[in-house]
Amino acid sequence: MERPSVDKIRSSQESNVNGVIKGRYTDPIPLELLFIVFLKLPAKTLARCVCVSKRWASVIRSQDFIISFQSQSRILFFIRDYHQTRFENWFFSSNQQGTSSFLSRTTCHVSNSRSRCRQPQEVNGLICCGYGTSPVIYNPSSGKSLTLPRIYLNLNVGPYVENILGYDPINEEYKVLSMTPLPGNHSSDSIIPYKEHKVFTLGSQGVWRMVECNTIHCPGTISVCINGVVYYGAYVGESMKQLSLVRFDVRTEKFGFMKMPESVQILSYYSSTLMNYHGKIALAYSTGYDTYELWVLEDAKEHEWSKMCFSTRAWTQPCVKFEVEGVTRMGEIILTPRYGGVEFYVVYYNLVTKQFRKIGIEGYKNPGGVVVSWEYVEKASTMLL
């Protein structure tokens, strides 16, 4: 067969404009079909598709597509061995409504991170992993990471620098709040008073900036960012024994403090979990081996909380101690076994129907312990990483 010449190829390419090939009109791909196809693509690929044509870009950037794309959540798991201080990897998994197992795939490894990681935080598609003087931000969609400028400390403050990620939806800015402890002999098990606070804006060429906080406190839970406000539980007071819910406005960089429910006696990164419960801040914690309480902040101005109780006693494996890791968009509590076993799985508990469902992870055995898991939503908008 005779190969076409370069001139013929160029002529054919030049005639393929506005859907016309050699005088014959070809129908473009229907918008409805493009919409469906784009929904199945990862955010990283969508960023490239925007550059293909104005037509493709109009579909991807439309409000309907962004809402539909972001409603497709997947489950993100962080795994580590209890004898190690760094997280080994995370998994992406398709969200399933049934009870059957599903496959997972590793998308990132964080074992090479020089920052220690107590509890990772997910905010608007990015992950803040670790505490220390060199915070690391990850983008699970692209697999890329960003190490922020080093935080220089005074003498005798130790490595226990807390770093919290927040997102301002008005200015579309990510900010990291860093807290430095007061000088003294600190250990990882003690309640460390933090006084110096700094903020770094991602995407800027600036440096860490000092922000004012007149209340010395010690973070006691993971943080949650809702509508531009970062929340976390903390110890306050002269003896650092009073419990408070800290409110940090990402845009104004101002702090606020409100009372915790009276029945909450202790905060812990491993036994009490702060979460976004239907757009409201909520605190879940264990009150016994298989009993839990979920407190939901109904009115921030009046400091009004509502309480729900639940138990894992009806679960078919009563000898397993579960940790509350979060809540799905459907209101199901995410529970993970406290200690690793031969089988790797997660249990979802429906507070309304009081039904359990078990989701197994195939192809990964005896992880040593699931540290945290949550629903993760890729963002169709352009990310910093």
Report yes or no: 267 and 295 within 8 Å, Cβ to Cβ: no
> Which DSSP helix (H) or strand (E) runs through 67?
helix 63-70
| Whether residue 32 sits in one domain with residue 95 | no
Helices and strands of the chain, counted as H and E runs: 5, 27
DSSP strand pairing (304-311 vs 280-286):
unpaired
Same domain, 96 and 38: no
Q: Does 264 reside within a domain? A: yes
In angstroms, the CA 194 to CA 183 distance is 9
% of the chain at pLDDT higher than 70:
65
Does residue 198 contact residue 209 with C-beta atoms inside 8 Å? yes
- Per-residue confidence (pLDDT) for residue 282, from 0 to 100: 94
| Co-location of 126 and 214 in the same domain | yes
Whether residue 3 is predicted with pLDDT greater than 60 in this model: the reply is no
Percent of the chain with pLDDT over 90: 21
**What separation in angstroms does the CA of 213 have from each of 151, 162, 193, 198, 304?**
18, 15, 13, 10, 24
Please tell me the distance from the alpha carbon of residue 300 to that of residue 350, in angstroms, as a whole number.
26
Q: For residues 61 and 80, state if they share a domain.
A: no
Residue type, 293: E
User: What pLDDT, on a 0 to 100 scale, did the predictor assign at position 164?
Assistant: 93
List of residues 6+ apart from 189 with CB closer than 8 A? none
- In this structure, are 219 and 332 located in the same domain? yes
Average the pLDDT over each of 112-116, 154-158, 188-192 and give the range with the smallest value: 112-116
Residue 217 has pLDDT above 60, yes or no: yes
79 and 60, same domain (yes or no): no
What digits encode the pLDDT tens for the residues 241-282?
899 999 999 999 999 999 888 888 788 766 788 999 988 999
Q: What's residue 290's pLDDT?
A: 87
pLDDT of residue 98: 43
Do both 361 and 228 map to the same domain? yes
Please check whether residue 16 lies inside any domain of the structure. no
Contact 49, 63 (CB under 8 A): no
Is it the case that residue 368 has pLDDT exceeding 70? Answer: no
Q: Look up residue 99 and give its amino acid.
A: T
pLDDT at 161 over 60: yes
Task: Give the span between the Cα atoms of 291 and 311, in whole angstroms.
Answer: 4
Q: Which residue has the higher pLDDT, 269 or 291?
A: 291
Q: Do residues 50 and 133 both lie within one domain?
A: no
Residue 382 has pLDDT above 50, yes or no: no
User: What's the domain count of the chain?
Assistant: 2
Residue 14, phi then psi, degrees to nearest 5: -70, -30
pLDDT band at 91 (very low <50, low <70, confident <90, very high): low
- Please indicate, yes or no, whether residues 321 and 285 belong to a single structural domain of this protein: yes
**Whether residues 78 and 96 fall in one domain:** yes
Question: Can you tell me which residue has the tokens 């196809």?
Answer: 37
In a domain, 383, yes or no: no
Q: Which residue has the higher pLDDT, 339 or 147?
A: 147
Is 63 in the same domain as 148?
Answer: no
Structural domain contains residue 116: yes
| CATH assignment of the domain containing 235 | 2.120.10.80
The answer to whether position 353 is within a domain reads: yes
Q: Write down the pLDDT at residue 86.
A: 53
Rounded CA gap, 196 and 216, in Å? Answer: 9
- How are strands ordered across the β-sheet holding 121-123? 121-123, 126-129, 136-139, 144-147
Give the Cα separation of 76 and 104 in Å (integer).
10
**Do 103 and 33 share a structural domain?**
no
* Residue from 311, 322, 332 nearest 369 by CA: 322
In a domain, 5, yes or no: no
Is pLDDT larger for residue 324 or for residue 118?
A: 324
Q: Within a domain: residue 295?
A: yes
- Average confidence (pLDDT) over 347-370: 72
Q: Which domain does 165 fall in, by range?
A: 73-376
Q: What is the pLDDT of residue 315?
A: 79
Whether 226 is covered by a domain: the verdict is yes
